[in-house]
Amino acid sequence: MNAPDAFLRRRRDLMSLAEPDSVLIVPGAREVLRNGDSHFAFRQDSDFLYLTGFDEPEAVLVLVPGREAGEQLLFCREKDPERERWDGPRLGLDAAREQLAVDDAFPIDDLDEILPGLMEGRERIYHAVGRDPTFDRQVIDWRNRLRKQKRNVRAPEDFIGLDHLLHELRLIKSADELKRMRRAAKISADAHARAMRACRPGLTEAELTAELLHEFTRHGCPASYLPIVAGGTNALILHYVKNDRPLPDDGLVLIDAGCEVDGYAADISRTFPVSGRFTPAQRAVHEVVFAAQQAAIDRVRPGNVFDDIHDTACRVLTEGLIELGLLTGSLDENLEQQHYRRFYMHKTGHWLGLDVHDVGDYRIDGQSRQLEKNMVTTVEPALYIGVEDDLPEEFRGIGVRIEDDIRVTDGEPENLTASVPAEAAAIEDWMNVG
């Protein structure tokens, strides 16, 4: 994990952005039951992780700027040898104070009792308003309890969404964060390269999924989202995650998968022929998507706006669709009418960070946002050609997406995931070695 000071700095930065006389409350994620007494794998809340680096459930961070007895307070589980025998070690209060650089730590079981007092004399409460109705109610209850208990003290009147302040901070990645993102990118790229090389006719989507997960797991990394391993026309299903069909001998397979390192995600897509050789039609479609991706990546520069990336991809895809005979008419008319949407119905990218679809506004005052150094975005153009009778037969059922993770630098875009072959010729070379 990052040095505790990095988290301390983030908490200070956040407090400095809040209005005076505020209290800021950030709960960790809850454990979620899968069935019986088995839980889903625990994933810490990204906001909480960003501010604490603390990966246990049942924790709440409370920031009380200017409070003399301590501004940065953590509520967490106490040491409990009996429970720790079953569930593994807990950090506990003393170590939390030392290792997490908070001013004080309290038992999570005392949260209800202590929190109303921390609101005393404050005018506003910042929290993720509307994200979790149970927590929203709890915050209001604490405030109401303070009012009831102490009629003559000031209790907060305003409930303000924390998201905007916190997510602006999260949007620009620090050197520490980029280190983790590069590692997630490298392991994810290796996983794609491994699956690509393992691929051959006769395998199933499940077997390629296993190759990906093997590479993630041996580095101790969970997947950052459910992998998509889509053979043939399954690639036309944007969120295909069943990954259980035989691969088509002469078809393509689209893999969209990434892992996370300390919570930081990678998100990569590649599309390649199961046989190791593209058919002419598959290659032609792949080349259009690759050209669109290269042109779009080249737009990831400071001063350009976020929409430039998508607009560039749409232009190159449309040129290609006309060349392939999948669209007729002029380039301008097709762009204006957005005819490409029959084959390309999603956006070309999203911020990437602790969340796969990371936080941060895409528009400011109604305008597409300018790119700034150390933002990270995916660039993921695609073409999905349906199986309808009016389409040329050789292209029917082809789905191609190529996705990389790109950092805005002072100049040339940095492709964090460049090490896995993306271009048709490079893919064939990689698949046919040995």
Query: Active site includes 164?
Result: no
Largest CA distance in the chain: 80
Closer residue to ligand GLY, CB minimum distance, 339 or 350: 350
> Which residue stretch of 160-168, 252-260, 274-282, 416-424 sits at the interface with Mn ion (rule: CB under 5 A)?
252-260
CA distance 161 to 18: 11
Closer residue to ligand GLY, CB minimum distance, 308 or 380: 380
Q: Dihedral of CA 389/390/396/397: which sign?
A: negative
- If binding is defined by CB under 6 A, does position 210 make contact with ligand GLY? no
- If binding is defined by CB under 6 A, does position 163 make contact with ligand GLY? no
Query: Active site includes 30?
Result: no
Enter the tokens of residue 414.
Answer: 């940095």
Query: Active site includes 401?
Result: yes
- If binding is defined by CB under 5 A, does position 271 make contact with Mn ion? no
Residue 229 identity (one-letter amino acid):
V
CA distance 406 to 262: 19
> At closest approach, how far in Å is the CB of 184 from Mn ion?
13
> At closest approach, how far in Å is the CB of 28 from ligand GLY?
24
> At closest approach, how far in Å is the CB of 49 from Mn ion?
20
Tokens 């990546």 belong to which residue?
A: 297
Q: How many CB atoms lie within 10 A of CB 187?
A: 20
Closer residue to Mn ion, CB minimum distance, 46 or 52: 46
Residues 48-87 that bind ligand GLY (CB under 6 A): none
> At closest approach, how far in Å is the CB of 182 from Mn ion?
17
Closer residue to Mn ion, CB minimum distance, 205 or 403: 403
Tell me the three-class secondary structure of 253-305, residue by residue: EEEEECEEECCEECCEEEEEECCCCCCHHHHHHHHHHHHHHHHHHCCCCCCCE
Residues 361-390 that bind Mn ion (CB under 5 A): 378
CA distance 213 to 257: 9
To 5 degrees, how large is the angle CA 8–CA 14–CA 19?
140
Candidates 71, 163, 177, 256: give the one binding Mn ion (CB under 5 A). 256
- If binding is defined by CB under 6 A, does position 260 make contact with ligand GLY? no
| Residue 434 burial by Cβ neighbours in a 10 Å radius (0-12, 13-18, 19+) | exposed
Catalytic residue among 5, 82, 85, 239: 239
Catalytic residue among 5, 37, 336, 389: 37
- If binding is defined by CB under 6 A, does position 267 make contact with ligand GLY? yes
> Which residue stretch of 204-212, 285-293, 307-315, 399-407 sits at the interface with Mn ion (rule: CB under 5 A)?
399-407
> At closest approach, how far in Å is the CB of 268 from Mn ion?
7
- If binding is defined by CB under 6 A, does position 198 make contact with ligand GLY? no
Q: How many CB atoms lie within 10 A of CB 103?
A: 15
CA distance 212 to 208: 7
Catalytic residue among 47, 211, 215, 256: 256
Query: Active site includes 346?
Result: yes
Which spans in 89-132 are helix H?
Answer: 92-99, 111-118
- If binding is defined by CB under 6 A, does position 380 make contact with ligand GLY? yes
Catalytic residue among 71, 190, 211, 380: 380
Catalytic residue among 267, 319, 355, 405: 267
- If binding is defined by CB under 6 A, does position 256 make contact with ligand GLY? yes
Closer residue to ligand GLY, CB minimum distance, 44 or 269: 269
Query: Active site includes 94?
Result: no
Closer residue to Mn ion, CB minimum distance, 319 or 403: 403
- If binding is defined by CB under 6 A, does position 356 make contact with ligand GLY? yes
DSSP state at residue 334? H
Query: Active site includes 103?
Result: no
Residue whose C-alpha is closest to residue 83's, from 57, 121, 101: 57
Query: Active site includes 380?
Result: yes
Query: Active site includes 215?
Result: no
| Cβ proximity of 58 and 29 under 8 Å | no
Query: Active site includes 384?
Result: yes
DSSP state at residue 246? B
Enter the tokens of residue 408.
Answer: 């805005």
Could you say which of Mn ion, ligand GLY, none residue 233 binds, taking C-beta under 5 to 8 angstroms by partner kind? none
- If binding is defined by CB under 6 A, does position 404 make contact with ligand GLY? no
- If binding is defined by CB under 5 A, does position 22 make contact with Mn ion? no
| Cβ proximity of 350 and 358 under 8 Å | yes
DSSP state at residue 122? -
Q: Dihedral of CA 379/269/264/92: which sign?
A: positive
Residue whose C-alpha is closest to residue 134's, from 279, 29, 21, 18: 29
CA distance 356 to 264: 8
Query: Active site includes 357?
Result: yes
Query: Active site includes 214?
Result: no
Candidates 71, 205, 211, 267: give the one binding Mn ion (CB under 5 A). 267
**Could you list the residues that contact ligand GLY (CB under 6 A)?**
225, 256, 267, 350, 356, 380, 403
- Which residues are known catalytic residues? 37, 239, 256, 267, 346, 350, 357, 380, 384, 401, 403
**Could you list the residues that contact Mn ion (CB under 5 A)?**
256, 267, 378, 403
